[in-house]
Chain A
Amino acid sequence: MKAYSLYKKDWQSELRTRYAINALSMFILVTISVILFSIGSEKITEYLTGGLLWVVIFFSAMSGLSRAFVSEEERGTTLTLQLIASPSTIFSGKLLFNIVLVFLMNIAITILFSILFDSFIIKNIELFLIAFLFGNIGIAISSTIIAAIISKASSKGTLYPVLSFPILLPLILTLLELTKFSMDGNSIEKSFVEIAVLISYDVIMLTASYLLFDFIWKD
């Protein structure tokens, strides 16, 4: 309930300041436009659109999700948060905010892809939805803990993608594989190993984040 109250505070703040929403919307529009212009009238393969989808999602996450903690640090309200809630409440609230933001962002990107790219055809929707669900949760967990780490650093802008790349790489590779399988029309049973890797990644990242957050947050 406390974490939900923090989540509500963050949304109300976001709707007034539009820190993350503006950055994300502009990034998504610009990136997809650049891809469309560079492709021109060329035909691209299904697999390539699947790959491009996750590339856009990865870089959009880079541009918007760090705001959860960076905006608190920039406004000097980190101390205020420390004075009103325990570290676990703060992490849960921020994670909830990033999960909702990631889902909104990625649903918008996927809809744009399916409208603008003829070759973006998913044959096994259920498999894609499973990948999409656990993939987004994984992106949100990783981005939240990395945002907490970099919010204390002086060169936040450059540090975020540098730290995110090795942490998100196994997740993105698994998601690329699952997107390929869903485009091929593979069954969920055949993709079991990749789904297990995806869920394991989420569980490991979530556990590690809760254990680490106390130390990151205090100093």
Chain B
Amino acid sequence: MTNYSIEVENLVKFFGRRLIFNEINFSFSSSHVYGISGPNGSGKSTFVKILSCLISPTKGKVIHKKDELIIEEEKLHNHIGFVSPYLFLYDEFTAEENLKHFSKIRGKIFDNEFSNYLLQEFNLYERKNDQIKGYSSGMKQRLKFVFALLHNPEVLIFDEPTSNLDNKGKEKVYEIILRMKKDKLIIIASNEDTDLSYCENILELEKYKTK
């Protein structure tokens, strides 16, 4: 089993003059589920984007390590699976075409069997050849999970994972979290109590609001 960790050191983020959070020091490691909590506008999405190195912090740093070796930022995308409400897939492609393109752009061979397995798991297999512009918001949300899991990443970052999902969809997400937590590092950013109840450690962003 690989040992993956994310170390956050003195993280500060400002948007203009507005402080989002100040001096966050935290460590995340595999085989655990972490929660990021806070009310709307508290910076949960910003924090997970910084964790994934999608945006830069104003100050401080984020270090990803796999088996104690630092992972270069350039290669980080192959280690992270990300689900978020502001993540969009290509509407003009079918679910399968989207997944095929993503695998190839990552430089990996498209694993048709694993893709079908995930599509079946998220109840999308029957519609895999439909353009996703015809999907409901719940179906699009489920497809984002397939997108996040297809390359078998060590880190799963779920920002508001159950938004737009019905009860069956939510149960599937919780089942995935419980199943994957043994060997993956899972981070959930949410203000839903049920989502956070699966987390062993919770980082409350409201505590980092003062200068």
Cβ–Cβ contact A218 & B55, under 8 A: yes
Q: B interface, how many residues as a size bin?
A: 20 to 34
Would you call B89 an interface residue if the criterion is a C-beta within 8 Å of the partner chain's C-beta atoms? yes
For the complex formed, measure the closest distance between the CB of B79 and the CB atoms of chain A, giving whole angstroms.
Answer: 11
**A2 to chain B: which residues have CB within 8 Å?**
104-107
Given A88-B74, A218-B54, A79 contacting B104 (CB threshold 8 A): no
CB within 8 Å of A: which B89-119 residues: 89-93, 97, 101-102, 104-107
Q: Which of B80, B88, B102 is in CB contact (< 8 Å) with A75?
A: B88
Number of interface residues of A (CB under 8 A): 26
CB within 8 Å of A: which B102-154 residues: 102, 104-107, 147
Per-position binary interface string of chain B over residues 70-89, scored 1 when its CB falls under 8 Å from any chain A CB and 0 otherwise: 00001101001010101111
Q: Which of B84, B106, B107 is in CB contact (< 8 Å) with A79?
A: B84
Cβ–Cβ contact B93 & A85, under 8 A: no
Per-position binary interface string of chain A over residues 68-85, scored 1 when its CB falls under 8 Å from any chain B CB and 0 otherwise: 000000011101101111
**A43 to chain B: which residues have CB within 8 Å?**
none
Cβ–Cβ contact A76 & B88, under 8 A: yes
Would you call B56 an interface residue if the criterion is a C-beta within 8 Å of the partner chain's C-beta atoms? yes
CA distance A84 to B76 in the complex (A): 9
Q: Which residue of chain A is the closest to B88 with respect to CB atoms?
A: A76
CA distance A93 to B80 in the complex (A): 22
Cβ–Cβ contact B107 & A77, under 8 A: no
Binds B, one of A8-16, A59-67, A111-119, A190-198: A8-16
Q: Which of A76, A85, A218, A219 is in CB contact (< 8 Å) with B105?
A: A85
CB within 8 Å of B: which A69-126 residues: 75-77, 79-80, 82-89, 93
For the complex formed, measure the closest distance between the CB of B64 and the CB atoms of chain A, giving whole angstroms.
Answer: 14
Given A5-B101, A9-B105, A89-B105, A84 contacting B77 (CB threshold 8 A): yes
Q: Which residue of chain B is the closest to A15 with respect to CB atoms?
A: B92
For the complex formed, measure the closest distance between the CB of B143 and the CB atoms of chain A, giving whole angstroms.
Answer: 12
**A140 to chain B: which residues have CB within 8 Å?**
none
Given A1-B107, A9-B105, A12-B93, A82 contacting B88 (CB threshold 8 A): no
Q: Which residue of chain A is the closest to B144 with respect to CB atoms?
A: A80
CA distance A87 to B102 in the complex (A): 15
Closest 6 CB pairs of A and B: A5-B104, A76-B88, A16-B92, A9-B101, A2-B107, A86-B74
Q: A12-B93, A83-B77, A93-B105 are in contact. List 12 more A-B contacts (CB 8 A).
A: A2-B105, A5-B104, A5-B107, A12-B97, A12-B101, A13-B93, A17-B92, A79-B54, A80-B90, A84-B105, A86-B77, A218-B55
Sample (17) of A-B pairs whose CB atoms are under 8 Å apart: A2-B104, A2-B106, A5-B105, A5-B107, A9-B90, A12-B97, A79-B84, A79-B87, A83-B52, A83-B77, A83-B82, A83-B87, A85-B106, A86-B77, A89-B105, A218-B54, A219-B56
